[in-house]
Each structure stands twice: as C-alpha cells, then as structure tokens.
Copies of this chain bind each other. A is one copy, B any other.
Amino acid sequence: MPELRKDPVIGRWVIVAEERALRPHDFVVAQDEKTGAGFCPFCAGNEAKTPAEVFAFRDTGGESNGPGWKVRVVPNKFPVLRIEGDLGKRAKGMYDRMRGIGAHEVFIETPDHETTISGLPDEHVTLILSAFRERLLDLRRDSRLAYGMLFKNVGLSAGASLEHTHSQLIVTPVIPTRVCEELAGSKKFYEYRDRCVFCDILDQEFSVEERIVLVTDRFVAIAPYASRFPFETWIVPREHASHFETMTWEAMEDLAFILKRTLFRIEEALDHPPYNFMIHTGPMQSGPLDHYHWHIEIIPRVTKTAGFEWGTGFYINPVPPEAAAEFLRKTAERRGGETE
C-alpha cells in the first residue's frame, strides 16, 4: 500500500509508492553523455575566456586572472540577473514586475577538468565552501539584494551546461517563493512550540536512526522523512544556525568532510547520476533567526517529473527514504571504507 507523507516544514505531500519501483522507466539512471574533450573555459590557462574573476584562492604570488588558482569565482558569462541599475519596481495593469537586478556567479571548484568534489582533498573542499561564504558575505552588503541561492548542477539532465566541476550563486532582489514557504512554515512551528522545526526533526531522526546516512561532530546527513526523490539527502548542522555564511572555519572543515563523503556515496550507489544540490540559508538582510535552520538539499535526478507533479506539487517517490539511507550507509561498507 502506498503511503502519503507530509513534510513537517512546508506541508508538501509526497507519495511513497514502493511498488512503482518496478516500472521500467521510472528508475532508470540516465547516464549523461560526456560532451568529450573540446575547449573548456574553466581549465587552467584559459582564464581569459571567462569574465574577470571576483574572488579566488591562489598560491602566493599568482596574479588575478592568471593560473595558479585553486578555486576561482567569476561572473556568469550569460547571467540571469545583473548587478547594475535600480530595481524599477512597477505595475503593468494588474501585473507586477521589476528589473532583473541581482548577481550570478560561477565557482570553478578546481583547475582540474577530470575531478569532482568527491575526488578532491578535504582541504580543497573547505576552500570551495569558504569561497561560498566569502561571496555571500560580500554581496549581502548590497541592500538591494534579498537572497543568495548557492547550487550545483551535475550532468546535462540536471541542467549543467559544462562538465568541468563548478557551482553557482544566484542572488535575487526578492525572497524566492520556495524560501518564503520554508520561512513561513518554520515560523508557524516556532510560534506554536517555541522550538525550531529542523532541530525537532534532528532529535527525532537521532532517536529512530533509520534515516541517518552519516554523522560528524557538527553535521548529519539524513534521508528526509518526506523525500521527494529517490536518494534525496539533506545535510543539516546539528547545532541551530540560520545562515550558512556565518559558519566558522572549523565548521566548514567538518562540512567539507561530510559533503564530500555523502556525494561519494550517492555517486557510488547510483553509478554517478546527474544531481543538484542547493544550499538553503536565511535571507541576506536578516540577522540570526531562531526559527530557521540552514541546510543543504541534495537531489539525484533519477526519476522524471511529469504532469502530476507539475500540476499538484505532490511528488511520487518509488524508494522509501529508510531504504535509501540504509543503502547509502552500506555503500561505504561495500567499498571497504571511505573515499581517498
């Protein structure tokens, strides 16, 4: 019998329909074709082919926009939002619109074309996270900007247009709908119980254990109770914090450890699926929030969203999160331990 599960933060329903895992087309991992060799603007030596960098970690003595960098941040060559101008909020009849003010930056995570986050040394992953923090802290000084969404697309069918490992930051002049829902849902919970809903979720997950994938001192990777997608995994700080960008260096080292190993397990378990991750953090112009709890959502793209999902906002997940978590826990064991 399929089961309906409700997300405790935003109230979204998910249908966990295990029997449907048997349908041939529902659970095929689409192996994206490699677009092959060719020219890559993100490789070392091709720095002139991107817009000028806004931030980089590089070896001592290296010059801006030359080689020698470890992580490099550049504006997107095809930005969906631009930093220049005022918002120009206005109405056209009954419709509201504003200019596309914001920022769109690309984090080139390593000069090496052949690797991914799960193949990089822990210290290097910490640098990537640190570049995320740096850019958010810099951009929040601009009071026109409301929200920064950090995300990563891996594989053509997850929306990546370049193979070379990279992530992106899009900063918007309004708080996005999805984030508003999370903020409103967690606020409602807080007003009723005087506790953070995410902290309560972690308490419950630690007490039942069945959806835990990996634990470190400061973070936990879980398969959320109302997972929308097979092998959806969230990484959540164990201690309450509303904003990613106010994390300490020590926390980033711990996050690098768990993020890398979680991605490794997903890649191993599903044979390198296309995936996205998104960092859900608090709004840029707000101070620390008692009711909101930042986290990372990782969604492997192994099922297709169809008319039903688009029309209802319901999701059909053929893999119970308990089974996914168990499989991911055993993945590392099967491979005889962790990556490296």
Contact = CB atoms under 8 A, between A and B. Distances in A.
A15 B306 contact: no
A125 B178 CA distance: 37
A100 interface: yes
A172 B278 CA distance: 29
A39 interface: no
Interface residues of A, number: 81
A100 B8 contact: no
A177 interface: yes
A3 B306 contact: no
Interface stretch (A22-30, A53-61, A241-249, A326-334): A22-30
A157 B301 CA distance: 12
A11 B16 CA distance: 29
B204 A100 contact: no
Contact of A153 (B20, B306, B312): B306
A141 interface: no
A151 interface: yes
Contact of A95 (B8, B17, B159): B8
Contacts of A172: 4, 13, 312, 314
Interface in A70-100: 78-82, 85, 93-100
Given A2-B81, A12-B177, A13-B176, A93 B208 contact: yes
A6 interface: yes
Among A2, A12, A311, A316, which residue has the most Cβ atoms of chain B within 10 A?
A: A311
Copies of this chain present: 2
Given A26-B161, A78-B23, A176-B313, A170 B308 contact: yes
Contacts of A159: 304-307
A16 to B, nearest CB: 8
Interface string A285-313: 00000000000010100001111101111
Contacts of A218: none
Nearest to A93: B204
A323 interface: no
A156 to B, nearest CB: 7
Given A94-B204, A204-B93, A304-B159, A99 B1 contact: yes
A316 B168 CA distance: 14
A151 B314 CA distance: 13
A4 B97 contact: yes
A82 B153 CA distance: 35
B310 A299 contact: yes
A120 interface: no
A311 B177 CA distance: 10
Given A4-B173, A25-B161, A307 B168 contact: yes
Contacts of A276: 306-307, 310-311
A44 interface: no
9 contacts: A2-B79, A25-B161, A152-B307, A159-B306, A159-B307, A176-B312, A179-B313, A297-B310, A299-B310
